[in-house]
Chain A
Amino acid sequence: EIAMTQSPATLSVSPGERATLSCRASQSVSSNLAWYQQKPGQAPRLLIYYASTRATGIPARFSGSGSGTEFTLTITSLQSEDFAVYYCQQYNYWPSFTFGPGTKVDIK
């Protein structure tokens, strides 16, 4: 079974700064990797799919990179609405969809 890990668990960033979040898969998931943003009391929102393609309506300050087992989500110039928890998810091995434990981005 695929295991997903994320680091760091918590990232403290000042508004306007860059945030870099990491996600690792225990075996290759090719580019079948998605990133989601979740705010308290809300459903997750799809940000990135195919590791680097922004979903509809997602601002250009969100970018994804990586393939195989190592992935990165970068948020340039953090806005107040970007403070949230971010999850990566592999969808290479159907029907088991595995999420990472999440990275919380909070205000420094």
Chain B
Amino acid sequence: EVQLVESGGGLVQPGGSLRLSCAASGFTVSSNYMTWVRQAPGKGLEWVSLIYSGGRTYYADSVKGRFTISRDISKNTLYLQMNSLRPEDTAVYFCARVDYSRTSGAFDVWGQGRMVTVSS
């Protein structure tokens, strides 16, 4: 079964750091484009970061320089390292697969989401 299972997250003070993990099964993370999307409480969806199968990375302006997307081939896992966190980063974070081959870019598999709360 194709699946993404997230872990990590929680409560952190402003300026702190957290790392989210997204373990894949049924497909290979490093052979796909992978992305992170977040959703602030009661709000809509916001794209956060993208990693190409070749390793190139991209970030939304709101997180550039503070967040880092990466992957571990041996663990078939995607990561989002979040540093210098701000209260406005409070959101549920979803990982997702970007289906480039069939759809040219729709997000066809999603993790269940993890809550990140930035508060003192």
Our pick among A46, A94, A96 for the contact of B107 (Cβ within 8 Å) is A46
Residue A89 at the B interface, CB < 8 A?
Answer: yes
A27-56 CB mask vs B (1 if < 8 Å, else 0) is 000001010101000111110011001010
| Cα separation A12 to B119 with both chains bound (whole Å) | 36
Residues 76-112 (chain B) with a chain A CB within 8 angstroms? 94, 99, 102-108, 110-112
| Cα separation A32 to B113 with both chains bound (whole Å) | 25
| Cα separation A2 to B72 with both chains bound (whole Å) | 32
Interface size on A, residues (CB 8 A): 26
Closest chain B residue, CB of each to CB of A96: B47
Interface of A is mostly: loop
Q: How many A-B residue pairs have CB under 8 A?
A: 65
Cβ–Cβ contact A50 & B44, under 8 A: no
Residue A62 at the B interface, CB < 8 A?
Answer: no
- 9 tightest A-B CB contacts, nearest first: A91-B105, A95-B58, A43-B110, A49-B106, A49-B103, A34-B106, A97-B47, A99-B45, A95-B50
Chain B residues in the interface with A (C-beta under 8 A): 35, 37, 44-47, 50, 58, 60, 94, 99, 102-108, 110-113
Chain A residues in the interface with B (C-beta under 8 A): 32, 34, 36, 38, 42-46, 49-50, 53, 55, 87, 89, 91-92, 94-102
